[in-house]
Structure 1
Amino acid sequence: MRRLSREKGVGLIEVLIAVLVLSVGLLGMVAMQITAKRNSFEAAQRSIATGLSRDILERIRSNPGEVATYVSNLGGESITTAPASCNTGICTPNALAQRDLYEWEQLLDGAAEKITIDGTEFSAGGLVDPRACITNSSGVVTVSIVWKGVAEINNPTASSCGEASGLYGADNKQRRLMVMSTFVTDL
């Protein structure tokens, strides 16, 4: 009888060990969730940059006589005045190129999606601190888009677009880069 009475219930040590094991498991799950969220955000930014690169290259291909007009450095609302819309009337190829650049920069900056926080309106779409460089070298049009990533990595070297902006942390370690090229012939 005495032996049974001493073995009743759960000891305090056993409860503490169970709580410790459960806590370590939960902390591991939280860390995994944070990493997954960060990687998902980085992937979404890369997808946006890829879509934007393809978009402007298609606009340039559809207006090949104005390749020189498309060559520019954009981002951070560098085009402040909207050129006339070409949707309602006939545009010259040059006017179409200027409108394309304006619309594309609006997409780059996320100006189409707005959110209001404490009475102040912010852009909610697009990329984080984007910059874009469009170059032309003998018909090879290259679009370089950079944006601010979450984690620090080595600064990509395929293009110097946006490096001097000071937006991407120490030594540009938060700088992400998407470079896409195509050949455009003047008809």
Structure 2
Amino acid sequence: MRSLNKFKNSKPRQTGATLIEILIAVLILSLGTLGMAAMQARALKGNVSSFQRSQAVVLATYMMDAMRVDKNSAKALNYNTGTLTGTGTINGSICTPASITGTTLADVNKKHWLETTKAAIGTSTDTTTCGAVYCDANGSCRVQVIWDDSLSGGLGVQKLEIQTLI
């Protein structure tokens, strides 16, 4: 009987969690959730940057295909607009669709290509989204697209260039 009295008079054992333990658990859970949200935001920025690069590839290929259809005009240098330098400086490239006023197939293709490029990668008033086309008389053509990737968390000015023989 003595042993039973010993447990009866002692303090009761703690049951459940204390308020401090709950607060620490909530703090750890909150920090983990914030970390996951930051990773998700970074992934979305990378996704936008990747989408822009994919659009630039599709648009450059589109222009090459348009020149393949109008091969004689491309070899006659009617598609030439100039080139873009590696730093993004524009050498005779086209940045505004309104600057193309001709009605030939080459002019219509260039204007439509630039409007589509600005709609897919930049904005209609964007001056950093530009395109350049350069072909020689032998049919060796180069298409360049330049855009600003800093809004999507990228590295700033990006340039894509494809070259082929049409």
- The verdict on a shared fold, with TM-score over 0.5 as the criterion, is yes
Tell me how far 1:78 sits from its aligned partner. Answer: 4.5
Structure 1: gaps spanning 5 or more residues: 85-94, 111-125, 154-173
Give the equivalent residue in structure 2 for 1:127.
121
Secondary structure at 2:145 match in 1: strand
Give the equivalent residue in structure 2 for 1:183.
165
Structure 2: gaps spanning 5 or more residues: 1-7, 82-92, 123-127
Q: Does 1:23 align with 2:10?
A: no
Structure ranking higher in helix proportion:
2
CA deviation profile, 1:7-60 (whole Å, cap 9, x unmatched)? 134212201210111011101110111011101101111111111001000011
Distance 2:139 2:100 in 1: 28
Secondary structure at 1:20 match in 2: helix
Higher Cα Rg: structure 1 or 2? 2
User: Sequence identity of aligned pairs in percent?
Assistant: 26
Secondary structure at 2:11 match in 1: helix
TM-score, L = length of structure 2: 0.74
Cα pair distance change 1:97/1:182, threshold 3 Å: same
Give the equivalent residue in structure 1 for 2:4.
none
- Contact 2:146-2:160 within 8 A present in 1 as well: yes
Tell me how far 1:65 sits from its aligned partner. Answer: 1.4
Secondary structure at 2:99 match in 1: coil
Q: Which runs of 4+ in 1 moved over 6 A?
A: none
Give the equivalent residue in structure 2 for 1:101.
110
Q: Does 1:51 align with 2:58?
A: yes
- Contact 1:76-1:130 within 8 A present in 2 as well: no
Q: Which amino acid aligns with 2:99?
A: I
Distance 2:60 2:158 in 1: 14
More RCO (CA 8 Å, sep 6+): 2
Give the equivalent residue in structure 1 for 2:140.
140
Aligned-residue Cα RMSD (Å) equals 1.9
TM-score, L = length of structure 1: 0.66
Tell me how far 1:139 sits from its aligned partner. Answer: 2.8
